[in-house]
Amino acid sequence: MTNTDTSMDDARALDGPFYIGGTKFLSRLIVGTGKYESNQIMVDAIRASGAEMVTVAVRRVDLDRSKDEAILHHLDPHEFFLLANTAGCYTADDAVRYARLARAAGFNEFVKLEVIGDERTLLPDVQATLEAAKTLADEGFKVMAYTNDDLITALRLEDVGCVAVMPLASPIGSGLGVVNPYFIREIKSRLKVPVIVDAGVGTASDACVTMEQGVDGVLMNTALASADDPVRMSHAMKHAVVAGRLAYLAGRMPSSEIAVPSSPIEGMLD
Amino acid sequence: MTPETSIDIQLNGKRQSFGAGHTVTTLLEALELHPGMVVVELNREILDRENYDAIKVVQDDMIELVHFVGGG
């Protein structure tokens, strides 16, 4: 038997790079850096995921030094593309303030804009998100906006200058997977900028199904950090994202509710 | 009036005393923070790192020192 195992490099050759705000990426998996048990597991998991772009949050320095929180002590900004988020912000003004602080750190102009509207569901406040997106895009930020799976909001976010629109699969940290694949597909088909599904993926099959909708990428954090074995799950996600992407590009067979034999019906013995 | 020997500032949400005469650079040194690892917001304005030497820290300044932490 011939070994036809396709390496990750071969898989990437069948897909090709994609661009967000003019920057080229090979991996369609973007990962967060929160909630890991240790910084070492976080770094190992991120390496295993193959992600190039990683999200970070902006917070006060802990002046009591009770924890070694500074992510830059653990993640080399030359190895990973840092995408600062505005997580935890509930108003457009706060999100703009956090984005400006993040940009002042001096790595890039990108920001993952997140303006939350509700504590229980962590669903986005789309009106405040649009307002902040416009302000930031006008200031030259490359805004990647977290939003719900609403087409109209996605179109508006593109209109105000976002470089990527990031509808949720399901609520942040829920692990419920893609609850509305139809809307995700519709958003993807209507936008020119990349569509990254952000939040809600729970396991590898969710990531695969997400990518099968034809979106440009997927962003996740909890699915990796809260797995029993984050490094192993990161490997799984890397493969799932590639699998889903290639399946989308390959074009699936039509589904049928009745069986269709795979072997010839002619030539059977009497 | 004698020159003040110490100042009170609001640092990351807490009232704290420092010797008078600090610049942003010397304040970061006193806190053992590398200027490249933090962003400084002074009275709601983000400071350019090039200006840290020139900017004096004065009584009642509100300073926020932020950095990147893990997040999704």
> Looking at A152-199, which runs of residues are DSSP E strands?
164-167, 196-198
Render pLDDT for B2-39 as a digit per residue (tens, 0 to 9): 567 999 999 999 999 999 999 999 999 999 999 999 99
Distance from CA of B60 to the nearest CA of A (A): 19
Average per-residue pLDDT for chain A: 94
Mean pLDDT of A66-92: 90
A151-158 contacts: CB < 8 A, separation 24 or more? A151/A183, A151/A186, A151/A187, A151/A190, A153/A126, A153/A129, A154/A187, A154/A190, A154/A191, A154/A195, A155/A190, A155/A191, A156/A130, A157/A129, A157/A130, A157/A133, A158/A191, A158/A192, A158/A193
Do the domain assignments include residue A270? no
ipTM for the predicted complex: 0.92
Query: Which residue in B66, B71, B72 is closest to A61 by CB distance?
Result: B66
Rounded distance, CA A254 to CA A261, Å?
14
Render pLDDT for B43-61 as a digit per residue (tens, 0 to 9): 999 999 999 999 999 999 9
Q: Tell me which CATH homologous superfamily contains domain B6-66.
A: Beta-grasp domain (3.10.20.30)
A202 contacts in chain B (CB < 8 Å)? none
Query: Which residue in B12, B64, B72 is closest to A32 by CB distance?
Result: B72
pLDDT at B71 over 70: yes
Render pLDDT for A153-169 as a digit per residue (tens, 0 to 9): 999 999 999 999 999 99
A112, A134, A142, A238: the catalytic one is: A112
Do the domain assignments include residue A258? no
Rounded distance, CA B56 to CA B63, Å?
12
Domain, as residue range, for A238:
19-61+69-250
pLDDT at A7 over 70: no
Distance from CA of A240 to the nearest CA of B (A): 20
Number of domains in chain A: 1
- Catalytic: A142? no
- Name the token pair of A74: 């653990």
- Name the token pair of B13: 């949400």
CATH code where residue A214 lies:
3.20.20.70
Rounded distance, CA A62 to CA A98, Å?
17
Give the angle B30-B25-A111 at the CA atoms, nearest 5°: 105
Rounded distance, CA A57 to CA A86, Å?
7
A102 contacts in chain B (CB < 8 Å)? 39, 68
Cross-chain residue pair A34–B72, CB shorter than 8 Å: yes
Do the domain assignments include residue A27? yes
B70 has a chain A CB within 8 A of its CB: yes
pLDDT at A14 over 80: yes
Chain A residues within 8 angstroms (CB to CB) of chain B: 32-36, 42, 55-61, 63, 69-72, 82, 84-85, 87, 97, 100-102, 104-106, 172-173, 199, 219-222
| pTM check: above 0.80 | yes
Query: Which residue in A69, A101, A172 is closest to B69 by CB distance?
Result: A69
A97 contacts in chain B (CB < 8 Å)? 44
Render pLDDT for A170-219 as a digit per residue (tens, 0 to 9): 999 999 999 999 999 999 999 999 999 999 999 999 999 999 999 999 99
- Domain ranges, ordered by start, for chain B: 6-66
